[in-house]
Chain A
Amino acid sequence: MDLTQLKVLDRLLCQNDYSDEVFAGMLPFVTAYVESLPRLREIPLGEVASATVMLAGGKR
């Protein structure tokens, strides 16, 4: 992902009016997220329960 792509993404989803400096600051973090996605999306998770409905520890 580059700065232009991030600006396009932002325009489509959030319509923020950030400065170039702010977009540049976010870019490494958004890139890391985007780069993690292909592997995350490969995992078959449809039948797996969400951790948010079972508190850690799992006794309730």
Chain B
Amino acid sequence: MNHAEIRALSLVAVRDAIQAGELTSEAVTAAAIEQAERFDRDFALFITFTPDLALEKAREADKTRAAGKRLPPLHGVPITVKDNIDTAGLRTTGGARVFANRVPSEDATVVQKLQAAGAISLGKTNLHEMALGGTTTNPHYGACRNPWSRDRIPGGSSGGAAACESLQIGYAALGTDSGGSVRMPAGLCGLVGLKQTHGIVSLTGCMPTGTRSTDHIGPLTRSVADAALMLSLMQGYDSSDPDSTPHMPETCGPLESLAGLKIGIPTSYFWDDLDDEVEQICRRTVAILEEAGAQIVPVKIETIDLLTLSRRAGMAEAYVFHEPYLRDHFADYGEDIRYRLLAGQYVLAADYIRATRVRRLFMEEVSRVLSSVDVLAMPTLPIPAPPIGSKTVVIKGKEVQISSGGGSTLGQNTMPFNQAGVPAITLPVGYTTDGLPVGLQLVSGAFLDLKLLAIAALVEKSMQFDTTPPILKTLEAVA
């Protein structure tokens, strides 16, 4: 296999090839590094790229295999880690200048778990500053680009993770998701992105956005099976994380077909204010699922409007985390987050409490709705990837803010499920006429993550989306 063929393998396939001795970890890691060196400068993929360390670990992995030792499940497989997830002895900046020299003394629990599973980190990927936005146009570490169209954003905040995964730099990317930061970039870059039930993957060692109860660490992959494998290795109770739960997802085997599954389609909000092509592609997908035997059920979620109101008061939480840094390092914060964070100090306690109670109403309603269907389905984002630097977009004749924080168009369909804590996954289902990927989001009840993945695998099979961006096909043709 040449380097391009090695890179194009799925996580599951490369794992099997290494385990079987058909590929060495060194060859796989070298192929990923070659690709990273080709694209990193132009695409602003990494904040800290560690090729030498990765190759050293790959050679060690090959020695372990040669010695005939029992191999862990991701033995010698290169992945990437978002730069707000702690890595011992390696700086973890959160994409912020204020944390440019922050070097954690311990690995995040999820990093420990993946290292124990044999994974090798290629480096720390770029993100929207402090994971507080959806563009990854980072004022300190560069504007990350979308592999499907280099003048467009990859989304965020896990933009570097998504761009790496799309460019086949590593076989899975660790991202974080507090309002859609795994699912949005996955959606805009033609990938699978999973935000599992809150609490089943430890947050210890994840830099907080300020609202811990909506933070998640989740995987971005090129297939649903790869996301399922990553979740199986990342999950588990962690007594060092106050948000961690001992409950794990309910078991669910592979599903044979979509026949009889109930797919809930919200009748308002989630299918409103969409780009025309995004809407057409997602409605066509739903029609294909119905033809395959799924039962389409209209559902109402009435508290969604209240939830968007309560988000304004919720900005107080992020302020409390950032307050000491804002006081001493105000100029080190990018303009798009510094004022938004400061504004949080004026939220009254009574309004903050109202916000948490509105959130409870929303959680309860989502739980009720999800008990009547197997999954909810909706577009992951209302628009395809916009150009880097654009502030607004016109949807159905109305000009709206792309990523304003606290009310972002990009995150309008993803944020509610961080508030509800239920699992949600995006998978690619089509392309616009400009060749930009469009994602469909599926949502299930809490702790039904494995059923959600099984249903997503059926949808993936029905849609047959090619996750390879044109830039890689051009490269292969030239080679």
Q: Which residues of A contact B (CB under 8 A)?
A: 9-10, 13-14, 22, 25-26, 28-30, 32-33, 36-37, 39-41, 43, 45, 48-52, 54-60
Q: Are A51 and B245 in contact (CB under 8 A)?
A: no
Knowing A36-B313, A59-B446, A60-B245, say if A30 contacts B197 (CB, 8 Å): no
Knowing A36-B309, A49-B357, say if A56 contacts B420 (CB, 8 Å): yes
Which of chain A's residues has its CB closest to B340's CB?
A29
Q: Are A26 and B309 in contact (CB under 8 A)?
A: no
Per-residue A-contact encoding for B308-344, CB less than 8 Å = 1, 0 else:
0110110100000000000000100001001110110
Say if the beta carbon of B367 comes within 8 Å of chain A.
yes
Which of chain B's residues has its CB closest to A6's CB?
B346
Contact of B309 among A10, A30, A40, A49 (CB under 8 A): A40
Residues from chain A with Cβ under 8 Å of B356 in the complex: 50-52
Residues from chain B with Cβ under 8 Å of A51 in the complex: 213, 356-357, 359-360, 363, 419
- Give the complex CA separation of A52 and B246 in angstroms: 18
Q: Are A41 and B213 in contact (CB under 8 A)?
A: no
Knowing A26-B339, A51-B363, A56-B197, say if A43 contacts B420 (CB, 8 Å): no
Per-residue A-contact encoding for B437-463, CB less than 8 Å = 1, 0 else:
000000000110000000000000000
Q: Are B345 and A55 in contact (CB under 8 A)?
A: no
Minimum distance in angstroms from A57 CB to a CB of chain B: 4
Which of chain B's residues has its CB closest to A31's CB?
B343
Residues from chain B with Cβ under 8 Å of A25 in the complex: 335, 338-339, 342
Per-residue A-contact encoding for B362-379, CB less than 8 Å = 1, 0 else:
010001000000000000
Residues from chain B with Cβ under 8 Å of A22 in the complex: 330, 339, 342
Which of chain B's residues has its CB closest to A21's CB?
B339
Among B245, B246, B360, chain A packs the most CB atoms within 10 A around the CB of B360
Q: Are A29 and B343 in contact (CB under 8 A)?
A: yes
Minimum distance in angstroms from A3 CB to a CB of chain B: 13
Interface of A is mostly: helix
Knowing A33-B315, A33-B343, A50-B360, say if A59 contacts B407 (CB, 8 Å): no
Minimum distance in angstroms from A55 CB to a CB of chain B: 6
Say if the beta carbon of B6 comes within 8 Å of chain A.
no
Which of chain A's residues has its CB closest to B305's CB?
A39
Q: Are B351 and A52 in contact (CB under 8 A)?
A: no
Minimum distance in angstroms from B353 CB to a CB of chain A: 7
Say if the beta carbon of B361 comes within 8 Å of chain A.
yes
Within 8 A of A (CB), among B223-280: 243, 245-247
Within 8 A of A (CB), among B371-398: none
Say if the beta carbon of B183 comes within 8 Å of chain A.
no
Contact of A49 among B245, B312, B338, B360 (CB under 8 A): B360
Knowing A33-B347, A59-B446, say if A52 contacts B247 (CB, 8 Å): no
Say if the beta carbon of B358 comes within 8 Å of chain A.
yes
Q: Are B446 and A56 in contact (CB under 8 A)?
A: yes
- In the complex, besides A36-B309, A57-B421, 4 extra interface pairs with C-beta distance below 8 angstroms are A40-B354, A50-B357, A55-B199, A56-B198
